[in-house]
Each structure stands twice: as structure tokens, then as C-alpha cells.
């Protein structure tokens, strides 16, 4: 398989940039001028191109519509203090996309071409990067099956795409959660470790029912005894218990979050106790009862940190301390935001200048 390919560029005739209000950016509804596309056929990726953002046409028998071979990533681009576009961990995202592809029996996309594609697209549309702190240019690389066939087998053709979208903060306020005991998100050996579209489609009913009860999201539990904590909504979850930061171990059912991985490294760098291990809901209730549950927050690319205000477990309502009294979650968000604008030193080589 070839690892490099020239990228053909077709620019828009008229940019839509002047119509964007950067002080009012809903998440995921405004899209930039261009997108990257590459097609897989005859065993290789071909026709790499950056074209005006627009619709695709699709055959009614496209296999993605029937058997769910669809994966994606979520990234962000920002600008540093001298206006240079910056990417956070693009190679890690390429590697995770390919891990998802292997699990879903899809074609892998070469890492170097992934990084080059993201860089070229961001460079072309860098004017779409919001200047406000906490905002960013969200990048959505994704891949889907394109065979026009309704037999149950892996597709032999795929499309890999990247589009970008200027976004504001994902969760502006602390969220209210409910422990989900009826539905499950994933089990070890399933597809929970892959960023497959079906994982998210399967979560919608539980979140809808939580919303109907006045909650923002759910805390997902493992199958066995509904005790083992997995994730919060679409994010990895962290707890601060008596000064120690704890996050569930990735056991095959939990996404190996890139923000999660960075948080663990930052905590270690700062000498803050952090552990990856089995975490149960009974442990969290006991920590709350003892007055030792200091923080709970989600970690992910979109929100970076999403603070939890309340957690409902059966007839128990656990109320977390006010965000202004918390130390770990706010520190981690400041650190990541500082890296993105160049005010915090990048000691691990996480950033790539475009």
C-alpha cells in the first residue's frame, strides 16, 4: 500500500467565513469551507483531494447503511500566541483511527497521510479557527464502507474524509448525571474500545430517558452486577477521592481516550497521585458518605473537562463541591487550554505546528 499521495486542492469560489459570528458558536452546526476526501479501492487509498465542503451522493445499497462499518475521530486545532495553527496529538488520533478500523474490519489509513491531510486542511482553513479562549476548530476525520452490496461481509471499498467546524465550549455548565442500570454501553470483547458510530447510536435511548428525568447524561456501568463504572456519556470519567485521582482501567469496553492519557501524564508530572483501576459505584457512594469525594468530571476532546454537579444513584443524590472549590479538574483544563495557545510549555511533544 502506498503511504504518500499528492493532494489535489480545489478551493471554494466564495468563502462563507464572513458570515460566521465567532462570539456565538453552537457546537457542530457550522462547517468550514473545505473538506478532505480519499477513496480506498483495489487495495490502496487513491485520489486524495481537498474540495469545497458539500454533500455526498450514496448508493441505496452502500454497506455502511446496512452493516455499520463506520468509524471516526475527534480533534481540535487552535492558534498559538503568534497566530500559528496548532494540532494536538495528530499521530495518536491516526493510530486510534486505525485501531478502530482493525476492530471493524476496515482498511487502515496511513499515519503520515493522515497527519499531512489534517495539516493541509487546517492550513487552508486557518481563518476558521476561533480566537476566543475555550473555542477551537473541531476536526472530524471519519471513514465508512462504500461497497454497493447487501451481503454480510467487510466492504472492499471505503471513503475517508475530514471536515472541520469552528466550535465554542461543549458543556458550558456542570452537568447532572444518573447512574444507568437498565442499558449498557459496551462489554469487554465488544466494540466499546473502537470509535464506531454504532456505539453512539446505541447510547441515545438511555440518554433520552435520562433527559426526560431532568438529567444531562448517564454514568455507564459494566454488565456484571451493574457495579463497575465505565464512562460518563461519551467521555472518560475521573474522580478525586481524598486527594487521589482515579479513573477506570481500560478493559476492552472503555475507549482509550487521548485526553485521558494526557491527563494521567500531567498528573504524574505534577506529583499528584493518580491510578487506573476498577472503580465501583459503591466505592463512590462510600467516598461521598465519608466526605472524601472531592471531584468528578468527564474528559474528552470536545469539552476537555466536563464537571459533574450531581450524581443520582437509585434513591441517593450525590452533590459534588462547587467548581470554584475544585483544584484538579480546573487545573487540567487550564493546562490543556494553555498548551493549545502556547502559554504552557509542551514538554512531551504533543503539539504539531501547521
Residue 91 lies in a domain: yes
**Total domain count for the chain?**
2
Residue 341 lies in a domain: no
CATH code, 250: 3.20.10.10
CB atoms within 10 A of CB 26: 9
150 and 179 fall within a common domain = no
Work out the average pLDDT over 325-343: 94
163 and 179 fall within a common domain = no
Is residue 2 predicted with pLDDT exceeding 50?
Answer: no
273 and 228 fall within a common domain = yes
184 and 329 fall within a common domain = yes
Is residue 288 predicted with pLDDT exceeding 70?
Answer: yes
Residue 1 lies in a domain: no
Is residue 3 predicted with pLDDT exceeding 70?
Answer: no
186 and 159 fall within a common domain = no
Burial class (CB in 10 A: 0-12, 13-18, 19+), 292: middle
What is the per-residue pLDDT across 241-275, written as a single tens digit (0 to 9) for each? 999 999 999 999 999 999 999 999 999 999 999 99
Q: Which residue has the cell 443520582?
A: 312
- The whole domain housing 162 covers 8-167
198 and 271 fall within a common domain = yes
> Would you state the pLDDT for residue 128?
97
Compute the radius of gyration of the chain from its Cα atoms.
21
Cell of 194: 473502537
299 and 327 fall within a common domain = yes
Is residue 169 predicted with pLDDT exceeding 90?
Answer: no
195 and 299 fall within a common domain = yes
CATH code, 36: 3.30.470.10
Residue 344 lies in a domain: no
Residue 348 lies in a domain: no
> Would you state the pLDDT for residue 26?
86
> Would you state the pLDDT for residue 4?
59
Is residue 350 predicted with pLDDT exceeding 70?
Answer: yes
Q: Are strands 175-179 and 85-88 parallel, antiparallel or unpaired?
A: unpaired
155 and 257 fall within a common domain = no
Residue 291 lies in a domain: yes
Q: Of 167, 195, 223, which residue constitutes the final position of a domain?
A: 167
Residue 3 lies in a domain: no
163 and 180 fall within a common domain = no
What is the per-residue pLDDT across 49-64, written as a single tens digit (0 to 9) for each? 999 999 999 999 999 9
Residue 343 lies in a domain: no
> Would you state the pLDDT for residue 1?
43
Label residue 224 by pLDDT band (50, 70, 90).
confident
Q: In angstroms, what CA-CA distances link 40 with 36, 106, 121?
A: 14, 10, 20
Label residue 130 by pLDDT band (50, 70, 90).
very high
102 and 208 fall within a common domain = no
* pTM of the model as a whole: 0.94
What is the per-residue pLDDT across 188-208, written as a single tens digit (0 to 9) for each? 999 999 999 999 999 999 999
246 and 303 fall within a common domain = yes
Q: Report the candidate in 74, 27, 111 with the shortest Cα–Cα distance to residue 257.
A: 74
Amino acid at each position: 500500500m502506498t503511504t504518500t499521495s499528492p493532494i489535489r486542492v480545489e478551493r471554494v469560489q466564495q468563502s462563507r467565513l464572513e458570515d460566521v459570528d465567532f462570539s456565538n458558536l453552537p457546537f457542530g452546526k457550522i462547517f468550514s469551507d473545505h473538506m478532505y476526501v480519499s477513496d480506498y479501492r483495489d487495495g490502496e487509498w487513491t485520489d486524495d483531494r481537498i474540495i469545497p465542503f458539500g454533500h455526498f451522493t450514496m448508493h441505496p445499497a452502500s454497506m455502511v447503511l446496512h452493516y455499520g462499518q463506520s468509524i471516526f475521530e475527534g480533534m481540535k486545532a487552535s492558534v498559538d500566541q503568534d497566530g500559528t495553527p496548532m494540532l494536538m496529538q495528530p499521530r495518536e488520533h491516526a493510530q486510534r483511527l486505525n485501531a478502530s478500523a482493525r476492530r471493524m474490519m476496515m482498511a487502515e489509513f496511513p499515519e503520515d497521510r493522515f497527519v499531512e491531510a489534517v495539516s493541509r486542511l487546517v492550513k487552508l482553513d486557518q481563518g476558521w479557527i476561533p480566537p476566543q479562549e475555550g473555542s477551537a476548530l473541531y476536526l472530524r476525520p471519519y471513514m465508512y464502507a462504500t461497497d454497493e452490496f447487501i451481503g454480510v461481509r467487510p466492504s472492499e471499498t471505503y471513503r475517508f474524509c475530514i471536515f472541520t467546524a469552528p466550535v465554542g465550549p461543549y458543556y458550558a455548565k456542570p452537568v447532572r448525571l444518573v447512574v444507568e442500570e437498565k442499558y449498557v454501553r459496551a462489554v469487554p470483547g465488544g466494540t466499546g474500545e473502537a470509535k464506531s458510530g454504532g456505539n453512539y447510536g446505541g447510547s441515545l435511548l438511555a440518554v433520552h430517558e435520562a433527559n426526560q428525568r431532568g438529567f444531562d447524561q448517564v454514568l455507564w456501568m459494566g454488565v456484571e452486577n451493574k457495579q463497575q463504572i465505565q464512562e460518563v456519556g461519551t467521555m472518560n470519567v475521573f474522580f478525586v477521592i481524598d486527594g487521589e485521582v482515579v479513573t477506570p482501567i481500560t478493559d476492552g469496553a472503555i475507549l482509550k481516550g487521548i485526553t485521558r492519557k494526557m491527563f494521567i501524564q500531567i498528573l504524574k508530572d505534577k506529583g499528584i497521585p493518580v491510578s487506573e483501576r476498577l472503580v465501583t459505584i459503591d466505592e463512590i457512594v462510600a467516598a461521598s458518605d465519608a466526605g472524601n469525594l472531592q471531584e468528578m468530571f468527564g474528559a474528552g476532546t470536545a469539552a476537555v473537562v466536563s464537571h459533574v454537579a450531581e450524581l443520582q444513584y437509585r434513591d441517593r443524590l450525590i452533590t459534588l463541591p462547587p467548581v470554584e472549590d475544585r483544584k484538579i479538574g480546573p487545573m487540567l483544563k487550564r493546562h490543556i487550554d494553555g498548551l493549545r495557545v502556547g502559554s504552557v510549555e509542551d514538554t512531551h511533544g504533543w503539539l504539531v505546528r501547521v
